[in-house]
């Protein structure tokens, strides 16, 4: 499984890329592999406030439907609208074109509760 350095990871298999006060969010390579072929994503709306650990959308695959959980609290500032027509990007490029949304963090200290690449690798190897 691909676990890039420099990102933070939730135990719910979302990745977080921090850029100042903004966090870009997506699902991990491990998550997309476990889901199988993604056929639909219920994207969150811009302007919505999310709380760390709360569901903010769903991913539907040929195998199952899974909730997306916010790895960090804040306001959704952008969503990857291209996923609506091309949800398979979650499978083909989960750390690039398959990003889901950006969140203006309301509590940047929550980053400390997320795993680094080594910690996440240990979790999925578990």
CATH code: domain of residue 31: 2.40.50.100
Q: What range defines the domain where residue 37 resides?
A: 14-110
Predicted TM-score (pTM) of the model is 0.91
- Residue 47 forms part of a structural domain: yes
Locate 10 and state its tokens: 């939730």
The single-letter DSSP state of residue 43 is P
Give mean pLDDT, residues 14-43. Answer: 95
- Residue 116 forms part of a structural domain: no
Question: How many structural domains comprise the chain?
Answer: 1
The pLDDT assigned to 126 comes to: 85
- Residue 3 forms part of a structural domain: no
- Residue 80 forms part of a structural domain: yes
- Residue 68 forms part of a structural domain: yes
Cα separation, 15 vs 94, whole angstroms:
9
- Residue 87 forms part of a structural domain: yes
Residue 92's H or E segment, with its range, is helix 89-92
Find all residues with CB under 8 Å of 91, minimum gap 6, and list them: 32, 35, 37, 38, 98
pLDDT in tens, 36-75: 999 999 999 999 999 999 999 999 999 889 999 999 999 9
- Residue 72 forms part of a structural domain: yes
Cα separation, 100 vs 90, whole angstroms:
9
pLDDT in tens, 68-100: 999 999 999 999 999 999 999 999 999 999 999
- Residue 92 forms part of a structural domain: yes
């Amino acid at each position: 499984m691909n676990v890039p350095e420099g990102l933070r990871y939730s135990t719910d298999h979302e990745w977080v890329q921090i850029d100042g006060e903004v966090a870009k969010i997506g699902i991990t390579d491990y998550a997309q592999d476990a889901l199988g072929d993604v056929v639909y994503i219920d994207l969150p709306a811009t302007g919505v406030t999310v709380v760390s650990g709360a569901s903010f959308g769903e991913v539907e695959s040929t195998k199952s439907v899974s909730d997306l959980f916010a790895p960090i609290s804040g306001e959704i500032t952008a969503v990857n609208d291209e996923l609506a027509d091309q949800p398979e990007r979650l499978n083909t490029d989960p750390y690039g074109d398959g990003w889901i949304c950006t969140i203006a963090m309301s509590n940047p200290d929550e980053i400390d509760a997320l795993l680094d690449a080594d910690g996440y690798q240990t979790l999925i190897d578990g």
